Amino acid sequence: MRIGVLADTHGLFDPAIPKYFRNVSHIIHAGDIGKRSVIEQLEAIAPVTVVSGNVDGYEQSGFPPEAVISVAGRQIAVRHILYEGGKLTKDGRAFLARMRPDICIFGHTHQPKNEWLGETLLFNPGSAGPKRFTLPRMVGILTMGASLSARHITLKDRLP
């Protein structure tokens, strides 16, 4: 099973996303959506789990601030802010302790992350939105079966 993962679109739907998310069975957007049309375009590809971010006004967006789904026997927790200033936040640590997920998807920092914290895979797909700072624009793919893998895909800095 393949899951497309993105965050921090800030209203931009990159036209390369359908190509990279072809054959995914689910998509997770980890907040800072920007425009509802981004989610509508993702829903044309596969079912979407989405959480709101600080840019979305959290609950004001109509999307929850946190989500937990079960996919291929693994629990995936989704939250926009887990890290700030390069460190796991107090709220992020409490979220992980409360949810005890196999995988935690998050955004906010625009910095890609793919690392283990104990038995939890922490995955930030990076930002799929407009280029900011010197950070690359990225999305991610989770592949789950007998094993679990996560990888980043770099998007072009300039859109066609």
For 55-76, how does the pLDDT look when each residue is reduced to its tens digit (9 = 90+)? Answer: 999 888 999 999 999 999 999 9
Does the pTM surpass 0.85? The reply is: yes
| Cα(19)–Cα(92) distance, integer angstroms | 32
For 27-36, how does the pLDDT look when each residue is reduced to its tens digit (9 = 90+)? Answer: 999 999 999 9
Task: Judge contact between 101 and 117, C-beta under 8 A.
Answer: no
Residue type, 100: R
Task: Judge contact between 149 and 138, C-beta under 8 A.
Answer: no
Tokens of 110: 């625009």
For 93-149, how does the pLDDT look when each residue is reduced to its tens digit (9 = 90+)? Answer: 999 999 999 999 999 999 999 999 999 999 999 999 999 888 999 999 999 988 999
Tell me 56's DSSP state: G
